[in-house]
Structure formats: structure tokens, C-alpha cells
């Protein structure tokens, strides 16, 4: 195995561990946020005693948006973990499975860009508070989606070259 592939395998292992930690954090957040949101409905009087005072409507909207962000973030983390495991298993990054995982991450980043502020706006509307200053579309995640999709195209071409190399005696 070449030095580059050895380094790639090592980095994929470390990257996989880091993303598994991120996945665990996202799962915890995706579990805790809706529980906290439910608690604001179950125990609204507790929030009234907090100093400085908390605007319950804004808190509920924020927790709703955080839930959406954590769920989508967990899905993104899962596919990145899977991508690293595929790279390590097959000793090459140029596989259809890796390309597919990159495309899924790009799609999820687009979903993240629009879903999180929309969920926040809906939750704020239901709570009868203004959300314009809290939630807005993050164009950075949209740009990240574009970059990841571009990366998937590069890897797709690499997969074709890998196939040609594998079939060459």
C-alpha cells in the first residue's frame, strides 16, 4: 500500500472517531432539545422565576430550531462516519459508496440551510413572538453544500479512473 493510502487510512480512522463523537453530541442534543421544549409547556412558571427574564416564546422557537438542527446534523455526521469507514474498508476513496455519501451530505446541508430557520419561524409564529432577528438563512451552509457536491463530482471521476486502473493488467 502506498504511503498516501496509508496516511489516508490513518486520517480516515481519526476522522471517523471525531465524527462519531459529533454524532453522539448531535443525538444527545436531538434528544434533550425536544425534552426541554416539552418542559417549557409543562412547567412555564419555573421560567418566570429566572433572572434575567426569559422570553418563553423565543426560547421555545430556539429549542424547536435546535431540535431540527441536531436531527439533520446527526444525519450528516452518520453519513460522514459511513464514508470514512468505506474508505478504510476498501483502501481507496474512489468508490461509488463514497460518492453517494458525499452527495447525501450535500443534500442534507441544503435541507439544513432552509429547514432550521423555517422550523424556528413556524415555532415563533405559534408562540406569537417575532423571529426575524433570531433565524435567518445561513448562506455559508449553502456554499458548503455546493463545495461538497463539487467534491462528489471529483470523486465520481476518480471512481471511473480507479475502475480503469483496476481493470488494467
Tell me the C-alpha distance between 106 and 94, whole Å.
17
Q: Which is nearer to another protein, 3 or 167 (CB)?
A: 167
The answer to whether the beta carbons of residues 73 and 109 sit under 8 Å apart is: no
Q: Does 51 bind another protein (CB under 8 A)?
A: no
Site for another protein in 106-165 (CB under 8 A): 164
Q: Does 50 bind another protein (CB under 8 A)?
A: no
Q: Does 42 bind another protein (CB under 8 A)?
A: no
Q: Does 1 bind another protein (CB under 8 A)?
A: no
Q: Does 45 bind another protein (CB under 8 A)?
A: no
88 alpha-carbon distance from chain centroid:
22
Q: Which is nearer to another protein, 73 or 93 (CB)?
A: 93
Cβ-Cβ contacts under 8 Å for 72 (sequence gap 6 or more): 108, 111, 112, 115, 116
Q: Which is nearer to another protein, 1 or 139 (CB)?
A: 1
Tell me the C-alpha distance between 54 and 154, whole Å.
48
List of residues contacting another protein (CB under 8 A)? 164, 166-169
Amino acid at each position: 500500500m502506498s504511503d498516501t493510502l496509508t496516511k489516508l487510512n490513518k486520517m480516515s480512522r481519526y476522522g471517523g472517531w471525531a465524527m462519531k463523537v459529533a454524532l453522539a453530541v448531535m443525538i444527545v442534543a436531538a434528544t434533550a432539545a425536544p425534552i426541554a421544549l416539552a418542559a417549557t409547556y409543562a412547567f412555564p412558571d419555573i421560567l418566570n422565576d429566572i433572572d434575567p427574564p426569559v422570553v418563553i416564546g423565543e426560547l421555545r422557537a430556539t429549542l424547536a430550531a435546535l431540535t431540527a438542527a441536531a436531527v439533520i446534523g446527526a444525519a450528516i455526521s452518520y453519513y460522514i462516519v459511513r464514508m470514512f469507514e468505506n474508505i478504510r474498508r476498501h483502501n481507496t476513496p474512489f468508490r461509488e459508496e463514497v460518492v453517494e455519501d458525499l452527495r447525501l451530505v450535500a443534500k442534507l446541508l441544503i435541507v439544513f440551510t432552509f429547514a432550521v430557520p423555517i422550523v424556528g419561524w413556524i415555532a415563533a409564529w405559534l408562540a406569537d413572538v417575532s423571529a426575524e432577528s433570531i433565524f435567518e438563512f445561513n448562506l455559508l451552509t449553502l456554499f458548503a453544500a455546493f463545495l461538497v457536491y463539487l467534491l462528489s463530482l471529483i470523486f465520481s471521476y476518480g471512481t471511473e479512473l480507479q475502475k480503469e486502473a483496476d481493470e488494467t493488467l
